[in-house]
Amino acid sequence: MSWAPAELLACTIARLVAGAAHVAVGAASPVPAAGCLLARAHEGARPRISLLHRRSGNPFSEGSRELFDLAGQGRIDVFFLGGAEIDGEANVNLVSAGGRRFPGSYGSAFMVFAARRTILFREEHTRRVLVPRVEFVSAPGWSPPGVPRRGGPQALLTGRALFLWQPERRRFRLQSVHPGHSAEEVREHTGFDYDAPERVPHTPEPGERELALLRGPVAREMARDYPAFARRLWGTAAP
């Protein structure tokens, strides 16, 4: 059964968020949203998914500070973060690089501390994005002893590969490369050093059940909040 790259990424995210009680998905993150909806379709009730981007039926009623307040209390298990630059110590830059200005840090400087796990997600996997050292640290990947911190990075997922974060070594470890890509290619396009097993496995392909869930209930739900994405990927429109 053939599948689209975004479906493979959504399935990978669904595995990463397994077991979480509450995941929050920020603006312009259709693939993480699809992955979380798939995880919930698998598990039945969990996780609770707060899509921060919803134009109607937004999960919160205390304004935009509520997400941060409840994250500060420890009510968010998984959060997603992108990055104009990401380095090998899992530092994220959302401000500027090479004289170019990006939108800004959003809540990242707080959320990587407050959420139990942060999944770094960036489809572009190039030396431009995955750099030896970010020019500006919006959100630090780790903190020295004595700094209060509940959580940190869990993984870095790109269009070519999945890395898992090793907090004790403060380094990424290449977990798998996506079908159609190779470990050598990943090394070539990654600007930072990382650990890797001798034989790097392939990221599991989406199975029949996962694809059926993605193209059925997940696609229908996605059509409401991410209409352009759902139309492009599955040809579904909002009910």
Binding site for other proteins (CB under 8 A): 27-28, 55-56, 58, 60-66, 68-69, 72, 94-95, 99-114, 136-140, 143-144, 146-149, 228
Q: Which is nearer to other proteins, 44 or 146 (CB)?
A: 146
To other proteins, the closest distance from the beta carbon of 59 in angstroms equals: 11
To other proteins, the closest distance from the beta carbon of 75 in angstroms equals: 13
To other proteins, the closest distance from the beta carbon of 144 in angstroms equals: 8
Q: Which is nearer to other proteins, 46 or 171 (CB)?
A: 171
Q: Which is nearer to other proteins, 69 or 195 (CB)?
A: 69
To other proteins, the closest distance from the beta carbon of 110 in angstroms equals: 4
Q: Which is nearer to other proteins, 3 or 136 (CB)?
A: 136
Strands 161-166 and 171-177, how do they pair? antiparallel
To other proteins, the closest distance from the beta carbon of 196 in angstroms equals: 27
- State the DSSP string of 102-165: -S--TTHHHHHHHSSEEEEE-S--STTTEESS-SS-SB-S---TTS--S-EEEEEE-SSEEEEE
Q: Which is nearer to other proteins, 53 or 187 (CB)?
A: 53
Whose CA is closest to 49, among 228, 6, 224, 39?
Answer: 39
The backbone torsions φ and ψ at residue 20, rounded to the nearest 5 degrees and listed phi first, read -75, 145
To other proteins, the closest distance from the beta carbon of 61 in angstroms equals: 4
Q: Which is nearer to other proteins, 12 or 192 (CB)?
A: 192
For residues 99 and 101, give the distance between their C-alpha atoms in angstroms, rounded to a whole number: 7
For residues 12 and 204, give the distance between their C-alpha atoms in angstroms, rounded to a whole number: 8
For residues 227 and 235, give the distance between their C-alpha atoms in angstroms, rounded to a whole number: 10
- 101-134 per-residue burial string, b: 16 or more CB within 10 A, e: under 16: eeeebebbeebbbbbbbbbbbbeebeeebbbeeb
